[in-house]
Amino acid sequence: MNTVTKSIDLPCSAPAAWKFLANGEEWPRWAVRNVLSSKPTGSGQWEIRTPRGTGILRIRGVAEHGILDHDFIDAQGKWTVAARVVPTSSGSVFMMTLEKPAGMQDDAFKRGLRELEDELGKLARLTSSL
């Protein structure tokens, strides 16, 4: 299992979900295991504090296509994640495809995926008010 796609149904429109997710200042509200705080540094980048220290979140979003690809950059390297928001008849779906970084232990990757499940649940609850 080197590549995994996780998704969650969101109770809000795709444009509302995209706008919320494209703002790195919102990430500490839902990515509670991985992004403890964030502050904008310009050009779609945020300085973030993570359990592993300080890093950069760079979001390479394209609203009209629902693209929210992003990079986590920290002392351990760069992790690129493909992400999309897709409209549905009842709201939207947010999906992320994660590839296990070279050198990461399998159990650490599996633990991170479990933590992501918690974060996506939090995201669904937060977006119910959008």
Q: What is the pLDDT of residues 25-65, one digit of tens each?
A: 999 999 999 899 999 998 889 999 998 899 999 999 999 99
Largest CA distance in the chain: 41
- Name the band, by pLDDT with cuts 50, 70 and 90, for residue 75: confident
The pLDDT assigned to 24 comes to: 96
Provide the CA 32 distance to its chain's centre, in angstroms. Answer: 11
pLDDT of amino acid 44:
87
For 1-130, list the strands marked E by DSSP: 3-10, 37-42, 45-50, 53-62, 67-74, 77-88, 91-99
Fold classification of 3-129 is Alpha-D-Glucose-1,6-Bisphosphate; Chain A, domain 4 (3.30.530)
